[in-house]
Structure 1
Amino acid sequence: MRVLNYLELADRLDRSGIGTAADQQRAALATTDVSVLTSPWTGGSPPQALGAALRGGDAFRSYDVAHCNMIGPGSITVARHAKRTGTPLVLHAHVTREDFAESFRGSTYLARPLGRYLRWFYSQADLVLCPSAYTKRILESYPVRAPIRSITNGVDIDSLSGFESLRGEYRDRFDLEGLVVFAVGNVFERKGLTTFCRLAETTDYEFAWFGPYDTGPQASETVRRWVRNPPENVTFTGWVDDKRGAFAAGDVYCFPTKAENQGIAVLEAMACGKPVVLRDIPVFEEFYTHEHDCLKCSTRAEFRAALDRLADDPDLRDRLGENAAETAAEHSLSRVGERLRDAYRDVQTEVTSD
């Protein structure tokens, strides 16, 4: 089977969760017998595809299933071509109205009309994939009128191999000492930025957020305020060239996010055996268990108490970290590859039998 696994604007999304998810899909499919194309265009780009069409050829390459990971005009074009040619169409719901809000300036205002667009866009699919049962329920509530199946984004455990060796280098680089409470990923208010910083203000622990942030016109006022004037014990590192260094330098992964479709960085922290402290939101109910592989909190006071417990109890840190690593192993890319392959086969059978 030849499958198009397409990420529109891939060069701009390489530092995003969507970019990581698409990379992991392709790595997962490499463990199967599925052959993967990453561009739908003849010649590899839209201008070359247009040239091919003007010469009387086909603008699109040949594939058995089209799988799109974004929601823009390129993906719409692929979707329309799939419908015109009877090619099974899989659309991956990495974006929802709920997780779009509080991401950048104006995103909360745009979330409502985005929801209407997403309902239309995802409803074109022969199959919608999403990272969690929680996201599936969200899409059904819009409602998206297409079959929906949840498949974990998984975690690329091999990409984290050897992270321990980078601990000293990254702690020295960012002047980190003692117990380091950390987060990894883009700096957004939706991901709990204010809670993260307010927690730091009430403790003596070092806090570090490893990941890119924007202070320009697109950034929210909240992000600009915190990254320009952080508490004394908070470090915003910006983009780091090796994510392994972030997981090596940190000791307790703290993620007070308000909304997620899954949260790949949580699984990465768990794969590194880090104790994890999470906000108690619905998406985490299906993946993680309080007091077993994480601590879940609802209020800032509960987050503070959880951090203090972990700081005072190395045995608890070890136990949660060991269980977390076992949880992460359940999301291996080999399992993801099998589930993606099965999804492609099922949708191909469904479309060709109609």
Structure 2
Amino acid sequence: MRALNYLELADHVRGGIPSATGQQRKALAGTDVDVVTSPWNGGSPQRAALAAATGGRLFRGFDVAHCNLVGPGSVAVARHAKRHDIPLVLHAHFTAEDFAGSFRFSDRVAPALVPYLRWFYSQADLVLCPSEYTKGVLQDYPVDAPIEPITNGVDVEALEGHEQFREETREQYDLEGMTVFAVGEVIERKGLSTFCRVAQRTDYDFAWFGPYETGPQASEVTRKWTRDPPENVRFTGYVDDIRMAFGAGDVYMLPAKVENQGISVLEAMATGKAVVVRDIPVFEEFLTHGEDCLKCETEDEFVDALDDLAADPDLRERLGANARESAREHSLDHVGERLEAIYESLLADEPDDVRGRTE
């Protein structure tokens, strides 16, 4: 079986979507699925268009199409798949809810995205999404297609050896004592203001490992905090090796307002870190307060949780050990097996004479 696993604008997209796509491909590498990452004959739309103009094919051959974004390239793949009866999987990493609070004017634009996303996802033979929470969001649009949650997974192998980065990274960013950290793009949806205000009320060092916008597209909130952060907060910007973050930090804190799942949370769990998150619906699906994390609703609760963890190293160790165990349920082996089974199921519903029609 040959499956297209497509992320358009792959060189320009940041955040969890490229991470999730990369993990899908790594997971599928352990299966019998032959993965192609570009739908275009020749590897690019320009080369494909040239080939088509001289009598060649625009699209490569594949048995299943799996798209991870919602732009014009994915629309073209969706139309091609429907035209040639190729099973179409659209992965809903992107919703209007998680777009809000990301960039300048995103809160205003987000509601207008709903009709487009409803139309786009409704073309699928199957919509995949990272959580039951996201499934509920899509059903409320409503998306007229079957929807199944599947974890983004966690690449434990890629995190191995994070401990070796501890001393060097802590020295580089002047981190001492129990360090509270976050990983990912620095945006308000991830709880940026809460992160900084909680830091202002404590004596712990805080570090946010991840890129942030500085140009006109940056939100006012992001510019405010990154230009003039609290004295005990470090914004590192992009780091070459994300293991630096998990090596340097002690308590992972994500006060996100909206998440479809949270790959960085799974990564923190897999590295055995104590995890503190905002009590939002998606975390009910894989985190249990007091067992493998601490959940908070207010800034006071975040401050109290950090104080408890600072005063009780045994609590940090217990939560981290339980979190590591919980993360095992999200292994890439499981993701690969599930994706392969989904593709096979979709192909089983297709007549033999239409499979591979674009070969």
Q: With structure 1 as the length reference, what TM-score do the two structures score?
A: 0.98
- The equivalent residue for 1:8 is 8
CA contact (8 A) 1:91 1:128 kept: yes
| AA aligned opposite 1:306 | A
RMSD between aligned alpha carbons? Answer: 1.0
Matched residues in 2 for 1:291 and 1:161: separation? 26
Q: In 2, distance between residues paired with 1:94 and 1:302?
A: 30
Which residues of 2 match residues 153-164 of structure 1 at below 5 A?
Answer: 153-164=152-163
Structure 1 SS opposite 2:333: helix
What's the offset of the Cα at 1:2? 0.3
User: Residue 69 of structure 1 aligns with which residue?
Assistant: 68
Match of 1:83 in 2: 82
| CA apart distance, 1:347 | 1.7
Q: Which amino acid aligns with 2:235?
A: F
Alignment partners' CA distance in 1, 2:55 and 2:131: 43
- 2:299 and 2:338 map into 1 onto residues whose CA distance is 38
CA deviations over 1:17-68 (Å, ceiling 9, x no partner): 1000000000000111100000000110011101111111111100000000
Which runs of structure 1 show a deviation greater than 3 angstroms over 4 or more consecutive aligned residues? 351-354
Cross-structure match for 1:234: 233
Q: Work out whether residues 3 and 65 of structure 1, in 8 Å CA contact, stay in contact via their aligned partners in 2.
A: yes
Shift of 1:345: 1.2
Cα shift at 1:349 = 2.1
Tell me how far apart the structure 2 counterparts of residues 148 and 334 of structure 1 sit (CA, whole Å): 22
User: What's the CA shift for 1:346?
Assistant: 1.5
Partner secondary structure for residue 195 of structure 1: helix
Which residue number in structure 2 is paired with residue 184 of structure 1?
183
SS of match in other structure, 1:302: helix
Aligned-partner Cα distance in 2 for 1:5–1:134: 24
* Equivalent residue, structure 2, for 1:149: 148
Cross-structure match for 2:343: 344
Residues 64-111 of structure 1, C-alpha deviations (whole Å, 9 max, x = no match): 000000000000000000011111100000001111100000111011
Aligned partner of 2:128 in structure 1 is 129
The CA distance in 1 between the partners of 2:200 and 2:335, in whole Å, is 40
SS at match of 1:190: helix
- Aligned-residue identity in percent: 66
* Partner SS state of residue 318, structure 1: helix
What CA distance in whole angstroms lies between the structure 2 residues aligned with 1:286 and 1:101? 22
CA–CA distance in structure 1, aligned partners of residues 351 and 91 of structure 2: 21
Equivalences for 1:1-354 in 2 at 5 Å? 1-13=1-13, 15-352=14-351
Distance across 1 between alignment mates of 2:301 and 2:252: 15
Distance 2:50 2:197 in 1: 55
How much has 1:350 moved relative to structure 2?
2.7
User: 2:12 corresponds to which letter in structure 1?
Assistant: R
What is the aligned partner in structure 1 of residue 357 from structure 2? none
Q: What amino acid is aligned across from residue 260 of structure 2 in structure 1? A: N
Deviation of the 1:135 alpha carbon? 0.4
SS state of the match for residue 288, structure 2?
A: coil
With the length of structure 2 as denominator, give the TM-score of the two structures. 0.97
Secondary structure of 1:44 counterpart: coil
CA offset at residue 147 of structure 1?
0.5
Deviation at residue 188 of structure 1 after TM alignment: 0.4
Structure 2 counterpart of 1:265, which letter?
A: S
Residue 352 of structure 1: how far off its partner (Å): 3.5
**Preserved CA contact (<8 Å) 1:126 1:351:** no
CA-to-aligned-CA distance 1:186-238 (integer Å, 9 cap, x gap): 00000000000000100000000000001210000000000000000000000
Distance, in Å, in 1 between the alignment partners of 2:347 and 2:118 is 23
Q: Partner of 1:43: helix, strand, or coil?
A: coil
Task: Give the Cα separation in 1 of the matches to 2:308 and 2:346.
Answer: 48
Q: Write the distance in 2 (CA, Å) between the matches of 1:67 and 1:225.
A: 39
Is the Cα–Cα contact under 8 Å of residues 255 and 279 in structure 1 kept in the other structure? yes
Aligned partners of 1:352, 1:95: CA distance in 2, in Å? Answer: 31
Structure 2 unpaired stretches of 5+: 355-359
Q: Distance in 2 between matches of 1:182 and 1:110?
A: 30
Name the amino acid aligned to 1:113: A
How far is 1:7 from its partner?
0.3
Q: Which amino acid aligns with 1:260?
A: E
